């Protein structure tokens, strides 16, 4: 057994995920990223609200002049270098807004539309990080301006991410003027993001967000990619996975927060090599995880065997349910899960026994309640939105699993908004490991829908027989291209089962 997972035991939501498309840091400085008037209002309201560990953490915005691609903008203010080989000229500005670093790029022949980019989780570190959109070349060559915030806080602070991204959008015209370029306000503003940034993207367009956020920004369309679209249900999944794993290894009654003491033994019981060679008990875990993550489907096998990403998932085990101090109490609730050891949706006697054996985790129903001082600590993706959404998700993602899309679908349908949501399954085995073309296709599909009322094609993510088809995901999966996509994505895609 390789004990690679043990070395990441201390990582937060996933630790440092530096995969294609999952940019840097995240978290934001929520309520304090605002106009003076709304700040003071928030401060007044804040008196009645409890504090939390995240509030006391401090963060450092990077100095734009120290970036490896630093280049002064035309008027001498901080900027960054042009994209190599870009066919259009742009203005590029870097700076700090309300404690969050940002980058903005505006083509000289700007089309009047702004795309906000929300990056993924950076980790439990103090240094903030700005990440540029993976489809930067496409955006600027099509005339779009883009802007990206580091957010003013790290950790899993979606509240800060939404506030700081909105604040940057609201300040776009003002920043341009300060840099010597007079622009009109964007006539369309869109939002796209990866992973935790997909959560931010989904949350940013929610009615509850418009009502409770301090920095109020409306969006005309959204593209969440590999997004945490089930919001806190992601942490329920981690909890269920852990409790099933330890039960299969003979530790059903060990407290969830006691995992570090049994981690090695659990892994040794379930794998001869983590996670590519499961034992008989490990094969049962594989079934459990398959159904927790979206059901029988192509690329699940490759995803389960992706030991690097699985190590990140196992690194979340043993937590106390507060998402590392984002909440004050645990929100994790596993009671609704039915653990499947086979592909029959019914419960066999063995499954019944197993479900009785696995410990339930029960969170505090108020752990992530509505607040009077702004967004919830973990903003919700309720499925209450009024703009077109095109989401993409890889089928083999064990970290932010495909089931997030199924949850989003059900929530949108429950609120009568299923007609505004198009989802696309991508045949890849990791987290956010999309090709550039898949991301460009999703973006253009959303734009054409928002602006020309042409609803794009998508995949049914909830019908089990459809999702289980061996060709599921072929419709929107696009080949990796050498020199365009990362070497890792190019290599990985060659190992995926062909669609033809
Ligand atoms: Ca069954």
> What is the three-class DSSP state of 219?
coil
348 CA distance to ligand 1 middle (Å) = 6
355 CA distance to ligand 1 middle (Å) = 11
340 CA distance to ligand 1 middle (Å) = 5
344 CA distance to ligand 1 middle (Å) = 4
496 CA distance to ligand 1 middle (Å) = 28
Strand bridging mode 222-225 / 389-394: parallel
400 CA distance to ligand 1 middle (Å) = 24
Cα torsion 174, 175, 180, 186 to 10°: value is: -60
pLDDT, one tens digit for every residue, the chain (500 residues): 333 333 333 333 433 333 333 433 333 333 333 334 444 444 445 446 899 999 999 999 999 999 999 999 988 999 999 999 999 999 999 999 999 999 999 999 999 999 999 999 999 999 999 999 999 999 999 999 999 999 999 999 999 999 999 999 999 999 999 999 999 999 999 999 999 999 999 999 999 999 999 999 999 999 999 999 999 999 999 999 999 999 999 999 999 999 999 999 999 999 999 999 999 999 999 999 999 999 999 999 999 999 999 999 999 999 999 999 999 999 999 999 999 999 999 999 999 999 999 999 999 999 999 999 999 999 999 999 999 999 999 999 999 999 999 999 999 999 999 999 999 999 999 999 999 999 999 999 999 999 999 999 999 999 999 999 999 999 999 999 999 999 999 999 999 999 97
> Cβ distance 222 to 115 under 8 Å?
no
335 CA distance to ligand 1 middle (Å) = 17
290 CA distance to ligand 1 middle (Å) = 12
- pLDDT score, position 500: 78
Omega before residue 399 within 30° of 0, cis: no
347 CA distance to ligand 1 middle (Å) = 4
92 CA distance to ligand 1 middle (Å) = 56
Helix then strand count (H, E) for the chain reads 16, 10
351 CA distance to ligand 1 middle (Å) = 6
How far from chain centre, in Å, is Cα 26? 10
346 CA distance to ligand 1 middle (Å) = 4
341 CA distance to ligand 1 middle (Å) = 6
125 CA distance to ligand 1 middle (Å) = 42
CA 75/CA 78 separation, integer angstroms: 9
Domains and CATH numbers, the chain: 4-16+233-357 (no CATH), 36-232+384-488 (3.40.50.1820)
CA 172/CA 185 separation, integer angstroms: 8
CA 367/CA 325 separation, integer angstroms: 11
291 CA distance to ligand 1 middle (Å) = 10
φ/ψ of residue 283, rounded to 5: -65, -30
349 CA distance to ligand 1 middle (Å) = 9
CA 244/CA 290 separation, integer angstroms: 12
337 CA distance to ligand 1 middle (Å) = 13
Neighbours of 33 (CB within 10 A): 29
304 CA distance to ligand 1 middle (Å) = 19
What is the value of pTM for the model shown? Answer: 0.91
CA 177/CA 242 separation, integer angstroms: 52
354 CA distance to ligand 1 middle (Å) = 11
- pLDDT score, position 33: 35
φ/ψ of residue 42, rounded to 5: -65, -40
247 CA distance to ligand 1 middle (Å) = 17
342 CA distance to ligand 1 middle (Å) = 5
221 CA distance to ligand 1 middle (Å) = 40
22 CA distance to ligand 1 middle (Å) = 35
CA 113/CA 146 separation, integer angstroms: 8
CA distances from 99 to 52, 92, 129, 217 (A): 19, 19, 12, 19
């Amino acid at each position: 057994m390789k004990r690679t997972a043990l070395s990441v035991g201390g990582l937060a939501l996933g630790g440092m995920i530096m995969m294609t498309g999952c940019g840097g840091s995240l978290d934001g400085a929520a309520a304090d990223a605002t106009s003076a008037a709304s700040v003071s209002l928030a401060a007044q309201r804040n008196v009645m609200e409890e504090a939390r560990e995240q509030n006391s953490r401090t963060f450092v915005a990077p100095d734009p002049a120290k970036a490896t691609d630093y280049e002064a903008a035309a008027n001498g203010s901080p900027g960054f270098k042009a994209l190599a080989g870009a066919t259009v000229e742009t203005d590029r500005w870097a700076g700090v807004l309300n404690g969050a670093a940002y980058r903005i790029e505006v083509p000289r022949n700007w089309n009047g539309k702004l795309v906000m980019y929300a990056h993924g989780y950076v980790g439990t570190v103090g240094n903030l990080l700005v990440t540029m959109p993976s489809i930067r070349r496409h955006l600027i060559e099509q005339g779009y301006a883009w802007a990206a915030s580091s957010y003013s806080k790290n950790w899993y602070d979606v509240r800060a991410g939404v506030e700081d991204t909105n604040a940057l959008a609201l300040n776009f015209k003002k920043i341009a003027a300060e840099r010597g370029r007079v622009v009109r306000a964007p006539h369309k503003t869109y939002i796209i993001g990866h992973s935790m940034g997909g959560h931010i993207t989904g949350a940013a367009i929610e009615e509850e967000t418009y009502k409770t956020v301090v920095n109020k920004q409306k969006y005309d369309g959204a593209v969440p990619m590999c997004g945490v679209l089930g919001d806190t249900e992601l942490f329920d999944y981690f909890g269920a996975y852990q409790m099933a794993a330890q039960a299969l290894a003979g530790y059903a009654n060990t407290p969830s927060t006691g995992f570090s003491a049994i981690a090695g033994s659990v892994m040794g019981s379930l794998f001869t090599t983590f996670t590519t060679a499961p034992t008989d008990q490990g094969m049962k875990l594989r079934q459990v995880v398959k159904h927790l993550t979206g059901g029988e489907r192509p690329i699940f096998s490759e995803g389960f065997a992706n030991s690097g990403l699985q190590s990140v998932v196992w690194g979340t085990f043993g937590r106390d349910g507060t998402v590392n101090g984002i909440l004050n109490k645990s929100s994790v609730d596993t009671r609704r899960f039915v653990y499947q050891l086979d592909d029959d949706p019914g419960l066999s006697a063995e499954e019944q026994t197993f479900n009785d054996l696995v410990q339930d985790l029960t969170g505090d129903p108020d752990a992530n309640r509505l607040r009077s001082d702004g967004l919830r600590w973990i903003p919700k993706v309720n499925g209450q939105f009024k703009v077109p959404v095109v989401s993409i998700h890889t089928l083999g993602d064990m970290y932010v699993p495909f089931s997030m899309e199924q949850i989003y679908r059900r929530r949108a349908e429950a609120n009568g908004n299923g007609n505004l949501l198009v989802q696309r399954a991508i045949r890849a085995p990791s987290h956010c490991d999309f090709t550039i073309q898949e991301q460009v296709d999703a973006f253009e599909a959303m734009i054409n829908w928002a602006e020309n009322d042409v609803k794009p094609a998508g995949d049914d993510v909830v019908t089990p027989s459809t999702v289980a088809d061996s060709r599921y995901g072929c419709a929107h999966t696009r080949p990796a291209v050498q020199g365009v996509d990362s070497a890792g994505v190019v290599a990985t895609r060659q190992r995926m089962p062909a669609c033809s």
